Amino acid sequence: MHGLSCIDISYNELRGLIRNSTGIHYNLVDALQGNKGLCGDVDGFQHCKDYNDFWKNEEGFKRKQSKILYEEVIRATNNFDAKYCIGTAGQASVYKAELPSWEIVAVKKFHSPHPDMVVQQAFSNEIKALTELRHRNVVKFYGFSFHPRQSFLLYEYLGRGSLAIILSNDAAIDEFSWTVRMNVIKSVANTLSYMHHDYFPPIVHRDISSKNVLLGLDYDAHVSDFGISKFLKPDSSNWSEFVGTFGYVAPI
């Protein structure tokens, strides 16, 4: 496969030797995690006989990197200055941050430095959903910081912002053709189908609205904001209180 330039083989329960290939580039931990039986030498990193041992060895490095990343986010947003804010929701605000050691990311910062139980549940839901869902139309999740002063989540930055912004901008609407709109609809529908039927246990998003559909520069759609999502319990009844964004949920 000479045209292959990147690869992600995480969570496939693979075993055996990993052979080095200078033509393939990937983040070592992200691309290989969840494969307990892998071993070998890749991009200068010596793997242990058991990949779990390697993962444990990486933990100290990851903690150090996490501290550096936290400080970079604070500097890149000037301690979350309003001029870097690109959106605000009920429990959090989203900031654009250009990190020197990484790339441009979206940072979702929760308003309270000491979240109450509702906010903690939303924080936990987002992390659980985004670390487990594997779909090209789910926003990419890079990490989080649960800190006494600042709690935030890191996502990929999508250049056109939310669908709500596009729909409320007369200039942007001119480029938002019916073909593009149909592609957005199909992408969101495919994502929900995956969450409801192809993932176990099924996940119900519970807040699909134009604010929670983000668009890349090519108008590729990504579902975001899983704070009130619900993991359905198999072999039991499931119910919940009325939740969601008014105007996007069926009347009671």
Q: Are residues 132 and 49 in the same domain?
A: no
Residues β-bridged to residue 38:
16
Let me know if residue 169 belongs to a domain. Answer: yes
Instruction: Give CA–CA dist 138/148, Å, rounded.
Output: 29
Q: For residue 202, give the CATH number of its domain.
A: 1.10.510.10
In a domain? residue 77:
yes
Do 85 and 128 lie in one domain? The reply is yes
Q: Which residues are catalytic?
A: 207
- Give the residue-averaged pLDDT of 74-100: 90
The band of 45, judged by pLDDT with boundaries at 50, 70 and 90, is very low
Whole-angstrom distance, CA of residue 209 vs CA of residue 198: 22
The count of domains in the chain is 3
Give the separation between CA 164 and CA 81, rounded to whole angstroms: 23
pLDDT tens across 113-160, in order?
A: 555 677 778 888 888 898 889 899 999 988 888 766 778 899 999 999
Q: What is the pLDDT of residues 154-186, one digit of tens each?
A: 999 999 999 999 999 888 888 899 999 999 999
In angstroms, rounded to a whole number, what is the distance separating the alpha carbons of residues 200 and 236? Answer: 14
- Considering the domain architecture, whether residues 74 and 146 belong to the same structural domain is answered as yes
Q: Of 15, 42, 63, at which residue does a domain stop? A: 63
**Edge-to-edge strand order for the sheet containing 213-215?**
161-162, 213-215, 221-223
| Residues 17 and 84 grouped into a single domain | no
Of residues 127, 65, 131, the one with CA closest to residue 102: 65
Q: What does pLDDT average to over the chain?
A: 78
40: pLDDT strictly greater than 90: no
**Which structural domain range is residue 84 located in?**
64-156
Backbone angles phi, psi at 118, to 5 degrees: -65, -45
pLDDT at 236: 72
CATH number of the domain residue 128 falls in: 3.30.200.20
Which of 5-9, 65-69, 86-90, 239-243 shows the highest mean pLDDT? 86-90
Quick: pLDDT tens for 52-81.
Answer: 443 344 444 455 456 667 888 899 999 999
